[in-house]
Amino acid sequence: MATKNLQELLDEGVDGRHILVRSDFNVPLDDDGNITDAGRIDASLPTLQALIDGGAKVIVMAHLGRPKGEVNPKYSLAPVAEALSERLGQFVALAGDVSGEDAHERANGLTEGEIMLVENVRFDPRETSKDEAEREEFAAELAALAADNGAFVSDGFGVVHRAQTSVYDVAKKLPAYAGFLVDKEVETLSRVKDAPEHPYVVVLGGSKVSDKLGVIEALAEKADRVIIGGGMCYTFLAAQGHNVQNSLLQEDMVDTCKELMEKYGEKLLLPVDVAAAPEFDKDAEKKIVGLDEIPEGWMGLDIGPETAEKYAEAIKNSKTVFWNGPMGVFEFPNFADGTKAVAEAMIAATRDNDSFTVVGGGDSAASVRTLGLDEDGFSHISTGGGASLELIEGKDLPGVSVLSA
């Protein structure tokens, strides 16, 4: 049975109906609680605006951070409510609880075209509980917010790989539909997974080999090149026999990296130089060094310029590129060059080679905005890091499969 989408719900009619929406508002905040990257909020707007325009009474659920099942003002959705109010051009109320008295009173008081947020769903321990009965109870409370003629719209792609209450269990309680964002993400990423045009280049960064092992194995079978950067590249370099000094290293994964290099050979592209520093600091001294020239006690914080050029060349000659994970500590301007080179090569491939280029969410998407690059220069920027990786890898996404159950 195919997944029903938001357009079908809109065609049925939402005027006067309570529509419960799961969005992904897990946005980064600075020390003062200000949103530093509103990409996920902006990505949610088409679905929310369509429901508002259709006359729905919209109730939005989301999480922020990891409050570990406890109410913590630090993780309140108040900044999100403010940002949504500004972008939608209308007041977005925030309930004082998740599924309690205030949430229900506010939901009952909504009129056509109004929208509200419930508080962070992860303030309730039942959201992530392993106990099915607890999740069932919480799902019933959330579904009750949508009253008798309600529906559920799943639009938080960044969480669909989690079988959590507001993503999975609620979908069993109400007529369930994929929002515009989830629909677009699944369609776009499935194109990369099922029918990539060759040459197909995968760019993987991030800190740990163990986090990307399944992806490397799954994608190396399909891709023509797998580019390795970020913190995890130092475990590969150690497996090549280089002394990576104080660089990030997973010693227990060195043998695994050796096996991957033996199995995939020249298909794996690894650094040939690095940008090293004596400490992990934005103002640290930077030296471009060869693989055996990292000074004693120093650490690699970015790929070097020769590596960046080699990687950019492979990307520019591609027809499909999937990128997940920065090449270095892009948050420090001094160590953002490798990540910027990869991103700019993808933009060039899109423009000059008509390549299909996908940024796989998470830190990669954040880096595009942090570095001030043109988001329209890519074919697609995903909102879900883990979810996009698992979809590309061929894993089941519970929050999507439940929509067609």
Residues that are catalytic: 40, 208, 362, 386
Is 65 labelled as part of a ligand binding site?
A: yes
Confirm if 274 and 294 have CB atoms less than 8 A apart: yes
Is 331 labelled as part of a ligand binding site?
A: yes
Beta-carbon contacts of 204 under 8 Å, excluding residues fewer than 6 positions away, are 212, 215, 216, 219, 226, 227, 228, 229, 230, 232, 323, 324, 325
Q: For strand 299-303 and strand 273-277, is the pairing parallel, antiparallel, or unpaired?
A: antiparallel
Residue 167 has what DSSP assignment? I
Q: Which of 114, 78, 80, 74 is nearest to 96 (CA)?
A: 78
Is 364 labelled as part of a ligand binding site?
A: yes
**Amino acid identity, position 155:** D
Structure tokens at 128: 């992530």
Is 24 labelled as part of a ligand binding site?
A: yes
Is 162 labelled as part of a ligand binding site?
A: yes
What is the distance in angstroms between the CA of the first residue and the CA of the last residue of the chain? 7
Is 113 labelled as part of a ligand binding site?
A: no
Is 361 labelled as part of a ligand binding site?
A: yes
Residue 314 CA to residue 206 CA, distance in Å, equals 19
Report the greatest alpha carbon distance in the chain: 68
User: Phi and psi for 168 in degrees, rounded to 5?
Assistant: -110, -55
**Amino acid identity, position 17:** R
Confirm if 317 and 354 have CB atoms less than 8 A apart: no
Confirm if 275 and 335 have CB atoms less than 8 A apart: yes
Is 362 labelled as part of a ligand binding site?
A: yes
Is 385 labelled as part of a ligand binding site?
A: no
Is 64 labelled as part of a ligand binding site?
A: yes
Q: Which of 92, 32, 25 is nearest to 65 (CA)?
A: 25
Confirm if 357 and 345 have CB atoms less than 8 A apart: no
User: In the block, which residue shows the tokens 């719900």?
Assistant: 9
Which helix H or strand E contains 46, and what residues bound it? helix 39-53
Is 270 labelled as part of a ligand binding site?
A: no
Structure tokens at 264: 């995939």
Q: Which of 173, 165, 55, 174 is nearest to 115 (CA)?
A: 55
User: In the block, which residue shows the tokens 């960044």?
Assistant: 158
Is 338 labelled as part of a ligand binding site?
A: no
The angle subtended at Cα 368 by Cα 367 and Cα 372, nearest 5°, is 110
User: Phi and psi for 208 in degrees, rounded to 5?
Assistant: -120, 135
Rounded to a whole number of angstroms, the CA Rg of the chain reads 22
Is 25 labelled as part of a ligand binding site?
A: yes
Residue list, annotated binding site for ATP: 212, 300, 331, 361-364
Residue list, annotated binding site for substrate: 24-26, 40, 63-66, 122, 162
Residue list, annotated binding site: 24-26, 40, 63-66, 122, 162, 212, 300, 331, 361-364
Residue list, annotated binding site for (2R)-3-phosphoglycerate: 40, 122, 162
